[in-house]
């Protein structure tokens, strides 16, 4: 019996050792798994940081350019490098890209050079067979990022690590897309945005620009992203006449007093182009339009009274025949359209926020000297605001763009303007000087909104009998060129595989 117990005891020897080894092995496996898992998570976190960082850097490049395209921005290309964009608001060609470069630490960023460190191979993929070689053109116009300009280049840390941003026009061919009016063909015409559609109808809207950014991190991570953007026009009142005057039924009548002794003064709703030639468009506008709430036939007396007030010079009716448009001369019409004072005042505020220049209050000399300093021209169209009265007496010059006056506008027959003139608020135009021979080309809109209630007040345009000048002429071309924008809308976005 004693020997059996001894044998049983010997047969159990080593079990504890085996169990211990197994437990240690299990713990080791778990530890190794934890280490591997931790390393994987660290690698994933690192990859995520890199992918997020390079993505954000590329987006920063796109957003910088989108901000700098807006001419009212302090960092705009217009303010930092006036020669970078095409002059005079001309469209940017599809085959002539321009670049914003962002070199770090003195490195060379030349995306137009084939085989360079940050070469732009994407442009050839999009425009190969459309544009002549080399693609992109070598060299291409470029300007520095704001991060390479004073004062940001003096910061103790680098800015976003994008390397370049390319800006170019697009065509149906480059996008491989048939745009409105969907004629089933894809051509090389530049693409525009009319507020609803991409279109290849030249002049139908604002040009669509392609903005492409490349970002590269020190660890080699890269990201190529792209926007299609277009300017967003500021909402304006409708321009249905060469001269629009506000009024409302039950209130005072709008007033137009022509220079009775000026045989050549004219208000023409016939559309002219920017060269002063008939545009050839099928429909004219009214010469003088009445804008406001006139139910039924209540506008008839206003229209007939204004027509009879336009002078004639017996035995000729030449002066009355100078007022031409879509109706018989003298062409004065009720436009059958209206807005409330609040709606027009909201438009005024939008224009003020997007203004390029604000005329200081003061004498005619102060205000005309300021306008001269703006150097307005067909290639420098501006949105100019006068918050209050504007007196341009003895300003023998022509302005270009949009002019907004919230008080009384005292003009001079030797003033010219090409674009849009809005006199909204006090709604009054008059003159003191009488000599000159210029004209307004585009549209003039006069509305009295500084009154209580929901109806527009009576606008007033009254000139001295002896005032000279050539008058006002409708031009859809100058109206479109004067259209202010509030920024660039993103029409599409995508990441480009590399």
End-to-end CA distance of the chain: 83
Distances (CA, A) of 197 to 182, 191, 200, 230, 237: 10, 10, 10, 11, 21
Segment among 30-39, 81-90, 179-188, 311-320 with least mean pLDDT: 311-320
Query: What pairs with residue 102 in β-bridges?
Result: none
Segment among 94-103, 193-202, 245-254, 353-362 with least mean pLDDT: 193-202
The token duo for 16 is 């504890």
Average pLDDT value for residue range 306-335:
83
pLDDT tens-digit series, residues 68-109: 998 888 899 988 998 999 976 789 999 999 999 999 988 999
pLDDT tens-digit series, residues 241-266: 999 999 999 899 999 999 988 888 99
User: Is the CB of residue 205 less than 8 Å from the CB of residue 193?
Assistant: yes
- pLDDT for res 317: 57
User: Is the CB of residue 421 less than 8 Å from the CB of residue 397?
Assistant: no
pLDDT tens-digit series, residues 410-468: 999 999 999 999 999 999 999 999 999 999 999 999 999 999 889 999 999 999 999 99
**Is the pLDDT at 178 greater than 60, yes or no?**
yes
**Is the pLDDT at 35 greater than 90, yes or no?**
no
The 8-class DSSP code of residue 89 comes to G
pLDDT-derived band of residue 49, with 50, 70 and 90 as boundaries?
A: confident
Q: How many residues does the chain have?
A: 498
- pLDDT for res 245: 97
pLDDT-derived band of residue 60, with 50, 70 and 90 as boundaries?
A: very high
- pLDDT for res 312: 76
Give the number of other Cβ atoms within 10 Å of residue 140's Cβ.
19
Pairing of strands 241-246, 439-448: parallel
- pLDDT for res 395: 95
- pLDDT for res 281: 75
pTM comes to 0.74
pLDDT tens-digit series, residues 207-229: 999 999 999 999 999 999 999 99
- pLDDT for res 318: 58
User: Is the CB of residue 38 less than 8 Å from the CB of residue 46?
Assistant: no
Cis amide linkage into residue 82, ω under 30° from 0: no
- pLDDT for res 74: 86
pLDDT-derived band of residue 28, with 50, 70 and 90 as boundaries?
A: confident
Segment among 35-49, 160-174, 255-269 with least mean pLDDT: 35-49
CA torsion through residues 22, 26, 31, 33, sign: positive
- pLDDT for res 2: 52
**Is the pLDDT at 12 greater than 70, yes or no?**
no
- pLDDT for res 3: 52
Residue with tokens 């994987």: 40
Pairing of strands 408-411, 390-391: parallel
The token duo for 103 is 């070199």
pLDDT tens-digit series, residues 105-162: 889 999 999 999 999 999 999 999 999 999 999 999 999 999 999 999 999 988 999 9
- pLDDT for res 11: 57
Average pLDDT value for residue range 335-363:
94
**Is the pLDDT at 55 greater than 80, yes or no?**
yes
**Is the pLDDT at 45 greater than 60, yes or no?**
no
**Is the pLDDT at 316 greater than 70, yes or no?**
no
What beta strand segments (E) does 152-268 contain?
162-169, 192-193, 198-199, 206-207, 209-216, 222-233, 241-246, 255-257, 266-268
The token duo for 166 is 């390319």
pLDDT-derived band of residue 279, with 50, 70 and 90 as boundaries?
A: confident
pLDDT-derived band of residue 39, with 50, 70 and 90 as boundaries?
A: low
The token duo for 191 is 């693409």
User: Is the CB of residue 98 less than 8 Å from the CB of residue 140?
Assistant: yes
Which phi and psi angles does 101 have, rounded to 5°? -105, 150
Higher local confidence (pLDDT), 465 or 406: 406
Express as a percent the part of the chain with pLDDT over 90: 70
């Amino acid at each position: 019996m004693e020997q059996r117990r001894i044998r049983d005891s010997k047969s159990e020897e080593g079990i504890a050792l085996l169990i211990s080894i197994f437990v240690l092995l299990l713990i080791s496996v778990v530890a190794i798994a934890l280490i591997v898992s931790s390393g994987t998570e660290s690698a994933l976190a690192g990859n995520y940081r890199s992918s997020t960082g390079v993505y954000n850097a590329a987006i920063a490049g796109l957003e910088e350019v989108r901000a700098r395209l807006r001419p009212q921005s302090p960092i705009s290309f217009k303010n930092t490098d006036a020669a970078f964009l095409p002059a005079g608001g001309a469209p940017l060609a599809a085959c002539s890209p321009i670049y914003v470069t962002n070199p770090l630490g003195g490195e060379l960023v030349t995306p137009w050079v084939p085989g360079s460190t940050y070469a732009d191979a994407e442009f050839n993929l999009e425009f190969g067979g459309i544009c002549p070689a080399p693609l992109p053109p070598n060299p291409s116009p470029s300007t520095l990022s704001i991060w390479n300009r004073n004062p940001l280049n003096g910061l103790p840390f680098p800015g976003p690590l994008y390397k370049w941003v390319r800006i170019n026009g697009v065509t149906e061919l480059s996008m491989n897309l048939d745009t409105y009016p969907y004629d089933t063909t894809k051509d090389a015409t530049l693409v525009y945005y009319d507020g609803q559609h991409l279109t290849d109808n030249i002049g139908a809207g604002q040009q669509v620009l392609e903005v492409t950014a490349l970002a590269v991190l020190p660890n080699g991570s890269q990201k190529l992203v792209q926007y299609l953007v277009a300017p967003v026009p500021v909402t304006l009142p409708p321009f249905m006449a060469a001269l629009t005057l506000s009024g409302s039924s039950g209130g005072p009548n709008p007033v137009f007093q022509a220079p009775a002794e000026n045989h050549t003064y004219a208000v023409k709703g016939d559309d002219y182009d920017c060269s002063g030639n008939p545009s050839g468009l099928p429909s004219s506008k009214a010469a003088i339009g009445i804008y406001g709430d006139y139910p039924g036939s209540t506008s008839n007396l206003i229209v007939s009274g204004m027509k009879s007030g336009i002078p004639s010079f017996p035995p000729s009716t030449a002066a009355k025949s100078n007022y031409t448009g879509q109706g018989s001369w003298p062409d004065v019409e009720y436009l059958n359209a209206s807005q409330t004072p609040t709606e027009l005042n909201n438009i005024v505020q939008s224009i003020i926020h997007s203004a390029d220049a604000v005329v200081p209050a003061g004498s005619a000399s102060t205000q005309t000297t300021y306008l001269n300093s703006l150097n307005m021209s067909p290639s420098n169209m501006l949105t100019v605001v006068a918050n209050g009265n504007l007196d341009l007496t003895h300003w023998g010059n022509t302005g270009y763009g949009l002019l907004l006056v919230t008080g009384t506008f005292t003009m001079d027959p030797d003033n010219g303007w090409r674009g849009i003139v809005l006199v909204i608020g006090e709604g009054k135009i008059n003159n003191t000087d009488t000599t000159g021979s210029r004209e307004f080309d585009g549209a003039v809109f006069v509305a009295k909104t500084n009154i209580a209630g929901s109806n527009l007040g009576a606008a007033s345009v009254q000139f001295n009998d002896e005032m000279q000048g050539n008058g006002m002429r409708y031009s859809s071309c100058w109206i479109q060129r004067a259209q202010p924008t509030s920024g660039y809308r993103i029409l599409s976005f995508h990441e480009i595989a590399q």
